[in-house]
Structure 1
Amino acid sequence: MFKRWVVYLASVLGGLLLVGGVLGTLVWALISARLPSLDVLTDYQPKLPLRVLSEEGTVLAEFGEERRSIVKLAEVPVHVRQAILAAEDANFYEHSGVDWLAALRAAYTNTMGGPRSGAGTITMQVARNFFLTRERSGVAGYLRKANEVVLTFKIERDLTKDQILELYINQIYLGQRAYGFAAAAKAYYGKPLEKVTVAEAAMLAGLPKAPSSFNPFVNPKRAALRQQYVLRRMHELDYLNDANYKAALAAPPTLKTDTGPTVHSEYLNEMVRQFVFDLVGETAYTRGLSVTTTIKARDQEAAYQALRRGVLDYERRQAFRGPEGYVELPAPPKDGKETKESKEALAEAIETAFSQFPDADDLLTAVVLEASPKRVIITRGEGETYTLEGEAIRFVRNALAENASSGERLRRGAVLRMTQDEKGAPRLTQLPQVEAALVALDPNDGAVRSLVGGFDFGKNQYNHVTQASRQPGSSFKPFIYSAALEKGITSTTVINDAPLFFPAAQTGGEDWEPKNYDGKFEGPMRVRTALAKSKNMVSIRVLRSIGPSYAQDYITKFGFDPKQHPAYLTLALGAGQTNPMQMAAAYSVFANGGYRVKPYFIKKIVDPKGTVIFEESPVVAGKDAEQAIDPRNAFIMTTMLRDVVRAGTAAKAMALGRGDLAGKTGTTNDSVDAWFAGFNQSLVGVAWVGFDQPKSLGERETGGGVALPIWINYMKTALKGVPEIPLKPPGGVVSATVSGDGEGLVDTGAVSDWFYSEFPPRRFVDPLTGNEGGRSKQDEEVRQQLF
């Protein structure tokens, strides 16, 4: 009986092994058949990148580039090869492509909940970087891993170890747009690879794991720690003796100093890439095309910094949402004395945190070592440990309370974000969930001067400048008032800021009882005052007077799609849909005297021989641009929008110390979207803040409090040195002094203002004769509708 069971089990096991072997062979054959030829690995045909330039010629980006300096393995200094092996794969010459011991160790660590680690050999990295996707989850993740293993063995079978290492040295990405160690030596140190020192070799060898996090230009302290790790490994592997190891550790930094300015223009760069690809196809990345954009490098960087500052200021007013994640740290020594082994274990765990949660520009990754209600100790690695107390931990105090949930509590191993203030002191913050956008145009021809489509392109490529269709709120009111000027309403027309109620029978849906943002009603007031104070009741009465259908048709003059702005009274409150680019183009009509211009961001595209393959021919206001609205209308609206800045909801903009600024704030229902659109005669800028999944920004958050500061901080740089141009009235407008409204509805003091010559005010004093005029028949008709 026993023998029978043994035979039976052996048969089953043998059958399973046979079936598994057949299936494995079949899968191997199928995967192998789908894998690309290894000829691709050695194809070093020069491919010239697509270069994106600012208007002044600053390089903003390169796409499809292979900035390489190909070297033979024999030309690579021994200490460079040793640094690479020490950092990436010490057993490279011993294993068959997959380091099974390291793989098992990584699998055990990951399964047991320790710091996640990989077991990628140099050969596996060659396979992964050349042919495979980065998918890590689901079926696609397993398929990617299977492809990687099969391709790894194929490479090991067909190429020698030296050939594989040579491929790795020449092809791996090392940041700074450099592919390969020879190119990286020039990018980081400005020298050929054969002249790289041991310390420099260790720095370069530390880059493949995370080129962004360990970039010495961007994160010098992190890069130095990684460099020290590589040198320590070289010493442990006997590549360096004690003297050389100490000398390399003590070597001063030798990085290039002429790295050029950094301009964050990722969203604009992507717009350029898409445009050129649509124009010439795949050759866009290999023909060496140069694209000159309309972007001003200085202003673009100012826009990026202004947007990030505005979003982070908003974020600091919100509650701390808890750590981004946790990493398993080794327990601290009980006696408080750290050993070499404990330091290395901690350093490895922290490096794991950085690979999973890389720095996001100035939002630096930090790991909690100790947390209590009184103090928090965080670290960014050896040499960067901070103890925070009192005010410094106020932002995260809710996560230190005893009743904090396990997923929100700060404890050892929690991953946080920190920034540094002007004095270098750490400040705790968090990655924002809110998004923002900022775009600026030259209103005279539509040239885009700055464009930031979101907070972090690396995390969200959705371009909110051109793709986010949102309600503009009160920032849309100027277009309604502009329409009203054509119907005889003037800036001094008195309209009642009183409650309104529309029953369901009238609206065709639910009862509607609109409110002013502040919940207050101030009674009769002039139109100019109502716009400055953004009074909703006045805007609705104006729209009801001129008719929603008329307004819907009129706004097409500014480039708006009438289908996105239905002809209902809610149009007066900006209940339609638009995006920041459309708003900037629309406000340009006011700024340039009434002309419609088309936004554009590429001036010309040339090939390496200088042949122009594309050049924009923009329409210019006052020359060949379409006259969209009456110049008198644009002039009067500009004076009204200047009052919004001088004494209205955008008064904060007076901090810029200029008298030529105009604009309008916008806040939608429940503070879901916050806007500010502002301009002078040389620049229009629009800022927006909101969530991708619309929700309230907060009860007290408004366009003036959230979006306007972004605009102000941008304009500090963009308008620096730009002279103020006097606003000249066009023909056909008259200046008159209004002598009260005649009925005591508003103050009876004389007020000077501008009017269409055919639409004089109800009661005015002629500035030439001093005679007082009366109320016109048309004005009386308008008044009856508005009251």
Structure 2
Amino acid sequence: MKPPQRGGGPEPQLLTHREPDYDEDVNDDPDLYDEADDSAPLTPDDRAWRRKKVWKRVRRGGYVLTALMIIGPIVAFFVSYQMVEVPNAQTVSASQQQVVTLKYGDNQMLSQIVPADGTRTFVKYDQIPETVKHAVFAAEDADFMTNPGFDLGGVLRAGWNQVGGGAGGGSTITQQYIKKATGDDEASGLGGYTRKFTEVVKAYKMNNTYSKPQILEAYLNTIYFGRSANGIVAAAKAYYGKELKDLTPSEAALLGGMIQSPGRYKDEEYKHRRWDFVMNQMVQKGWVSAAERASAQYPAQIPVEQARPSAIEGPGAHIQAYVLDEIFEETGLDVSDLKRKGYTIVTTIDKKAQDAAQAAITKVMTGQDPNIHPGMVVVNPTNGEIMAYYGGENGTGTDWAMAKQEPGSSFKPFDLVALLEQGKGLGETYDGTSGRQFVPGGPKIRNSGGDSSCGKECTVALAMKKSVNTVFYDIALNTVGVKAVANAAHQAGVQSQLGGPDGNQLDANISIGGGNTQVTTVDMASAYATFAANGIYRKPHMVKQILTPEGKVFWEADRSMTTGQPAFDKTDSANNAKIARNVTESLLPIPKSSNIPCADGRKCAGKTGTHQYGETEDNAKAWMVGYTPSVSAAVSMGAEVDGKQMPLKNNKGKIVYGSGLPGQIWQEFMNSFLKGTEKQNFPTFIPIGKKVDENDGDDDKKKNDKGSSSTQQTQNSQTDNPGPGGGHHNDPSTDQSTPGNGGPSGPGNGTDPPETGDPGDGIVLPGLGGGGRGHR
């Protein structure tokens, strides 16, 4: 064989070997150069070669930079898209304050709680009229329904404007919503570009996440329109005093135009210019015809001062405060929670009852000392709803309907409840003479004016009618015990702590509503409502429902509030009803004997009460509480100057008793509110314990009608004159050993003679926000 050929020929070309490119040199590798060559003079060819090499590197850098400029933003956009979160309408509404609306039980407006930044009410997309949508599109984003959430040309123009020191602009509706929802409105410097980029990413993501109707709904419920109006619903009311559904195209055009610069709502020239622009845009897009445009008039607007609801004042402010407290107690929601959601609160306040209550107070108190403060609460016995509430004309001052005060003799029905629970009743007899000393060395308990006409065999029925202190003091101290009286009051519905701050300082003064016995007007209206409801206790409440902005029920009063439960005997419903009805039987004669009967022979039950002012002959407190089967009303009254208690005296200088100013307010309300309604009867009376001879001690059958003459004091304790010796209005003896808040002589409470003074005229009914003459 021939030996293999070695050497001589070229090696086979490697697969990676290639010919040099047209712009490459075979010696392009710097390692091929000898260091000695660097110092050699450059030939023209060398210089040309080096220039070619530099430009090659510049081109390569340009390619890389161009690639980065194209690919970088795409990558950044993709990464940002994954990281950003899109705010929805619910999230935004949770962070922004809205109007909280309070309504009467029949859905009429009662008041509004307006946030500091203005009004805001949410509305759903399908509740927004087409003409409003078109006006907003025309003003802000004509291609909203088709664009991807941002306008690239607009974004570039905005960036160029920022470079030149101008404003941004060019945002779509979606971008504007993102900006308003996030609160990020930085417009200059690097932060402005960063914000704009993030805004575009969020707008694009929002466009892919939500439908156009959802985005528009979120937008129109969020943006500011000027005139303290946030959202399109509030704007319609702030500019025109109208509901959103009633807006004309012309009115909608102005609202759309105001979105751009809402702070210029007082600039008429600007508003006219924006209105013209939007109307023309609507014609161009075919949303308004040329004929409609030609006939359109610039819309008239309500005065600016009427645009934003003012904070509620007067009696309504006390109602509002009560509502907020009750909502917090029942749901844990405070006012900030309510504002974030924009809830509507349907109250139990009956407008007819509220108007009647305020009218009665105004009529009776006109011309009286403005330092006399009545409180009034009206409760529906059938469901526990508070129908009317008056805590005073000064809505930011003391709420006299919730102030704790001594109830005087109006507390005596609870003595009777405790007695009835022991199986004893109206036929029981006690020593009703005045000046009895129940504890050796203790105080002598007196009746009003030292009246002993009820005698040593005074029935409980007659003692209630005459408001005989000694009988009820005896019952509480020696028959049932003071704790049983307190328990009876709590069973009926009194929520206030009895017996002092710690609840343990109970004594026999509770029998006549003195000592440490203090209750609210709400307590008494509620407790008497239990008697009216035949022994069924229903928790008094002022909130019927809480509604979401969409009108759905978020919360409503528990059925247990309205259905109630037996108050006095939870195991025997018949006995429970009998206890309540026996109390009612004892109270039926009192309105008539106090000269404040219900009109047209309507059966009303009730009890007056007074509390003594220190050791004087005057009264510090006066009450009238009474009811029919359909309504229970309590009226309290006290006098105070600069926080200091004063004696209760009318404009003629006479002592105020329960049957006086409070009784007159109660009577006026009952007659007005119940006029024309069906006369209801209480259930059949079935006595507990001993029966009462219907003629026994019935003074009305023993005397001629002589009006309210003071000569009738021994027959009818409800006279204009408290009786010989001045009396202490059924208070304990003036011996200074009797404890009580009314002074050393103990609590006064009374038989409540009526007053004959003319309450005055010139009556003006104050609204919930005040403004009436009232009694001040």
TM bin (shorter chain): 0.3 to 0.5
TM-score (norm 2): 0.48
> Bigger relative contact order, structure 1 or 2, given CA contacts below 8 A and separation 6+?
2
TM-score (norm 1): 0.47
